[in-house]
Amino acid sequence: MDFSSGDVEAAVMRPTVPVAGGGAAVGPSALLRGWREFRRSAAPARFLCFEDGGWADVAGEAVRQLRRAFQDRRAMAEAACGGRAYLFDFLRMVRIDAATGEETALAWIDDRGACFFPAPGGGGRKRRRDDAPAEDEAESSSGVDERSGESRGAEDAAAKRMKASGAWGKSAAARLEESGKYYQVVSKLFLSYGMASRGAVITAVRKVGQGARARAFQQQGQLLAATRGAAVGTPKFAWYGASAEDVAAVVERGFARTNAARLGGRKHGDGLHLSPPQCPYTSAMLAKADGSGEAHIVLCRVLMGRPEVVQAGSSQSRPSSDAYDSAVDKLENPQWYVVWSKDMNTRVLPEYVVSFKCPKLQPIQGSSEATSKPKKPSPGRDMFPTLLAEIEQLVPDKCDILQEYYSNFKMGQIKKDQFIRFLRSYIGDKVLTTVATKLRGC
């Protein structure tokens, strides 16, 4: 396999359709997301259903009927396709067979070219409404177990287990034999681009367990290929560097926060920073060695979609428009790939952890590392960006809606007191008090 280009064969997987009856109910967060997307979308120009392993256009008179229903802001509509009657549910993004109750994923592309596809999940088969989901299909749509308020505690627990055992559990990351094929390929990739000349010595290579995360990643590749083109949906290899505690948490549960803070003013937005396969040293500088001098870096597959250039020092935290999916520092020979926090658990798939020692490694010390003491706010300064950044570290699954409401506030669509009331009701006073105490430096 040629690692130098960073390309790998695209994986294809069916999207999952949530079950409305007889199985796990659609939760409030899923309905809220569906309603928000429904309200945000312009009139659809195309409707698509996932059939026979790919997205196929809805054709004929049904398109006109569905478009009219959408413009009338009806959440559901009936239409016939191929001689069969269906119910189209725009909020849950499913097409339901009126005769069998079988559900199929539904998507659309609106008049402005914006794409609206269902969130990824496990499983990936057509289901009748009374089918119970498989056990591994009940996991969260991000491909990791997301329980509100436990992200930081999970990282601490992972760090303690790692410190006690000197390794991750076998189920999370299995240590490879040095004579094995994949050990040789990964170690060669790591050492071939300047790490060996800097005196790096590999102490271990581990294969990361994947499961639902891999399915979510594969589905995202399929969705990107359907909307942006096959080449755009092709994954690339990339390196992720962070502290040992963060690496252990990523292996066991997924990404809870980005590593942008370690870059300080050199960050290209508030997203997850990864370096191309031929630039391991760039990400290795974000790693933090432990007391024994051992550090860790993760070889991942990443779906970049269509990237845009984001300048160093930017605080951008999402695509600037629907035309983009991710970011880079420059389009030609980029040194940084940037995946936004809302996508980091579905478009980045950890594959191998390389543990190493490198006496000549010079770690980057960002001016605003997560471990450093926050600066006290100056009078008259807009503290909401700082406040939201701290909140997103505690409850990363809520960052998308938070940023949407903050954008509405900045554009004058809602008042300051309304935004504050929303924060209190959506985040909770306990989290806000914790963040406020931290920002005051108490």
Q: What is the mean pLDDT of residues 397-418?
A: 72
Look at residue 61 and give its three-state secondary structure.
helix
pLDDT given at position 382 = 58
CA distances from 438 to 140, 265, 386, 388, 432 (A): 30, 21, 11, 13, 10
Kindly list the structural domains of the chain, giving each domain's residue range(s) and its CATH number in brackets, ordered by start.
30-116 (3.30.720.50), 181-357 (3.90.228.10), 383-441 (no CATH)
Asked if pLDDT for residue 101 goes beyond 80, the answer is yes
Q: What is the mean pLDDT of residues 402-423?
A: 75
What's 76's DSSP letter? E
Query: Who's near 149: CB < 8 A, 6+ residues apart?
Result: 394, 395, 431
Tell which wins on pLDDT, 394 or 254. 254
What's 378's DSSP letter? P
230-242: pLDDT as tens digits: 888 889 999 999 9
Q: What is the mean pLDDT of residues 222-250?
A: 88
Asked if pLDDT for residue 328 goes beyond 90, the answer is yes
pLDDT given at position 125 = 42
Asked if pLDDT for residue 6 goes beyond 90, the answer is no
In this structure, which amino acid lies at residue 91? L
Whether 114 contacts 122, CB under 8 Å = no
Asked if pLDDT for residue 89 goes beyond 80, the answer is yes
- Place 366 in a pLDDT band, splitting at 50, 70 and 90: low
Mean pLDDT, the chain, rounded, equals 76
> If residue 421 lies in a helix (H) or strand (E), which one and from where to where?
helix 416-427
CA distances from 380 to 114, 377, 424 (A): 37, 9, 22
Q: Of 45-59, 159-173, 324-338, which gets the smallest average pLDDT?
A: 159-173
252-284: pLDDT as tens digits: 888 888 999 888 888 999 999 999 999 999 899
Q: Of 219-223, 295-299, 325-329, 406-410, which gets the smallest average pLDDT?
A: 406-410
Share of the chain above pLDDT 90, in %: 29
Our CA dihedral for 88, 89, 93, 97, rounded to 10 degrees, sits at -50
pLDDT given at position 9 = 35
Distance CA 275, CA 295 (A): 17
Asked if pLDDT for residue 298 goes beyond 70, the answer is yes
pLDDT given at position 228 = 86
Chain position carrying tokens 């601490």: 156
- Place 88 in a pLDDT band, splitting at 50, 70 and 90: very high
Share of the chain above pLDDT 70, in %: 73
Asked if pLDDT for residue 378 goes beyond 50, the answer is no
10-57: pLDDT as tens digits: 332 334 444 333 333 445 566 777 888 888 888 898 898 888 767 788
Q: What is the mean pLDDT of residues 185-192?
A: 93
pLDDT given at position 399 = 63
130-167: pLDDT as tens digits: 444 443 333 333 333 333 333 344 444 444 444 434 44
Radius of gyration of the chain (CA): 23
- Determine how β-strand 307-309 pairs with β-strand 326-328: parallel
Chain position carrying tokens 């940084």: 336
